[in-house]
Structure 1
Amino acid sequence: MLKRLFLIGLITSLTSGHAGELALDDDNFSLAPKFEKRVETYRPGAYTLNKRAKEIFLKGDYFSKTSTLDKDGNNVPLGEGESYQEMNGIFGMNYGVGEKLEMGMEARFRNNQSETALGSASNSGVESLMIQSRYSLGREGAWSFAVGGWYRQALYTVKEYQYNEAPPANELVLGEGGADLALGGLMAFRFSSHHYLSTDVYYVRRPGHISPEIQYNAHMAWPYTKIAFILGADGIYSMGQDPYNSDLGRRPLRSTGATARYNSVNRSEVAPYLGINLSFSKIRFDLKASSVMAGASTDEGVTYSLAMVWGQTGISSQDKKLAKFKEYHVEGSVTKVSPRGKFLKIDQGIATDVEKGMKIDIFKTDFFGGNILVASGEVFEVGSDWAIVKILEQYRSDVPIDVGLTARGY
């Protein structure tokens, strides 16, 4: 009995409230805190950081190969004694430059280990540096849109061998080398504060003779105050432009060891994954497990990753609206609230310049000058000395929308 009560209490604690106590920012369409300055449990790709917000992250992932998917998509088992493992360590930061613009950078360290019938090989070092940016295009109802791009530069060169040469068995590539450039679009749909759909699609120009690709992600997320559950898939679709596709015998060789991940021929893959994010005040831990289930010219295997994210929320929606207090030119009181709390009536109208479509913020005020932003909406209908306001966003579930609250229009 005690064990059952403990489990119920734990689940309630993790899932109570909203997604990291978040609200949608009406101005820059990014997530902002409702109650306290805590890092979000989840942020859709199309949502940019608040202005001056920061995310500093440290991530590690481990991949272990189980088989090869050849260029026709056939599964080829590993030979006896063959194996390949890859580990990445990533350190980076994202920053909210403006109300709609986010920029970031990261450095990636990599360690590869390969075992074949010819012997073993390994390689490690700083693999690449990356810069990225994302710009919010705004929100249309429950939909949010953004565009983004990134540039990744390898910090090493890859040695190539002619088709009649054999790469040394004790040599192993660290990656593809060269530079990757990506441009794409991001989209998110908000079913509720506890349910999101998020997708992103990028066109990626690969280095050297590697074919350009479409890299994509699609997932569903169920975020709560301290925990978020994510189910989705990462994918790669080749544009099929490998110049040696019809003459593989003359294709330059590289020391790829037991892996087909590098120097691949028009690679493609689909990797479903499951993720769990845990938020502890200003630190979040992201856990993810993925498995390549289909593809061509790549490795089949499982990847496990763990990330630690430290965040500062920057200038949130509530901060900006409170800062605009002196810009409000209409102030009144709530006189009536609909049974479901979707509409309310205020005691200001045409006589005080209230217009249909005017933005209205609802505050709970007190004798000591306290101002708690409770909800926001817009004027739906207006009379001479009254107006009907449609509630679009409620920020405080612990403060009911009731008669007597202060309504301010701008």
Structure 2
Amino acid sequence: MDLRERLRLLKAAGAARPRAAGSLPSPAPAEETAPRDTTDTAPRPFRLADGLEGHLVTTVAGEAFVVEHRYPLTYRHGPLPLAWPLDLPPTVWPLLGRVAPDFDLRRAAFLDTETTGLAGGTGTYAFLVGIGFFRGDELVIRQYFLRDYPEEEAMLTAVAADLAPVACLVTFNGKTYDWPLLETRYRMNRLRPPLGGAPHLDLLHPARRIWRQRLASCSLQDLERQILGETRVGDVAGSQIPALYFDYLRSGDAAPLAPVLLHNRLDILSLVSLAGWLGHMVADPLGATPDGELLCGDDLYQLGRLFEDRGLLREAVACYEGARQRGVEGVTETALLRRLSFAYKRAQERQQAVAIWEQMVEDGGLSLFPFIELAKYHEHVTRRYDVAEELTVRALAVVERRRALAGPGAAAEYREVLHRLERLRRKQGRPRS
């Protein structure tokens, strides 16, 4: 569908399409069109199509259509019951997403949208807004569906009412796409966006950080299949969803949209399960995963980097050592030992770092950093300048071999090592006090 056709639909689809069973009801009499208080009007059952039974909720801007599903916290989507993330220590969420220490999943909304396109901008509508939240011993998922463009203000008003008691937000790529799009739609309708400044945990970022090296894709559906072990049945591809909505606008037949609502609902369930899985990895990286297996070395390596960036050096060292024992495939052993030794060094555990560098020097190879780090250690800590000079001479030989293989690109390394060697020789020529 080209841009011209899409704009035509956005402007005139509601007026042009025929009314069909399950489409918008006839307008109410004039005396009933005044805004009504939602506290005085109970939701009315409404059937949009087979498999799309929900309720009409009345807002000050009109009526909005919502479908609600409830899941007990014992329900499993993947290897975890939905209650699992609620039992994790609250310290895991700031590590995953740099949110405040008081981030509370019991007061969070898990949000996902389906839109008329992926380009964003003022011409893109969120025609389905799914919100999941914990209530008592259930996970409640409400899906607000835009039956026609004139209902957008009512739909957004109903969504804002659901988000009013929410203290924080959980999404997947929501910081970049879903939430900015919704904020745009609120402003286009002259409404104040809800959740202003609320903490926002976007699971895409920690997921990419941990799995992008060993997985071909970190989309939510791929993580659902490869990490959570869930395979969808009856789902629809995300790329087909905008076309299905435009078909509905033309025909008035909402039945083909039932898989779209299922897709959105499964995304929210996956958000909850993925939050539990990631939180468990951070809380107990060396223990068994929820499916009873141990994390592979590559995942431990990436968790170590996460801990190191957050300043948790002991946790980082534990993950790197675990990765060393279990083996890594996505990174070289040299890269792992470099990270591990520097984490030991930053944690003021120099002897462990020195032991790694000495073993790497003994093993040979073309890695330069263990020679340099050992030379620095003996120059500044043990003051054994002769040993530091010997290591620097050996480092110069490694650089010569690297230059023969890499060509002129290693010239900067050669100058740096040569400068270090000359400085060490000058130091040894000074009178000692």
TM-score when normalising by structure 1: 0.21
The structure having more radius of gyration, on CA atoms, is: 2
Say which structure, 1 or 2, has more relative contact order (CA 8 Å, 6+ apart).
Answer: 1
The structure in which a higher percent of residues are helix is: 2
The structure in which a higher percent of residues are strand is: 1
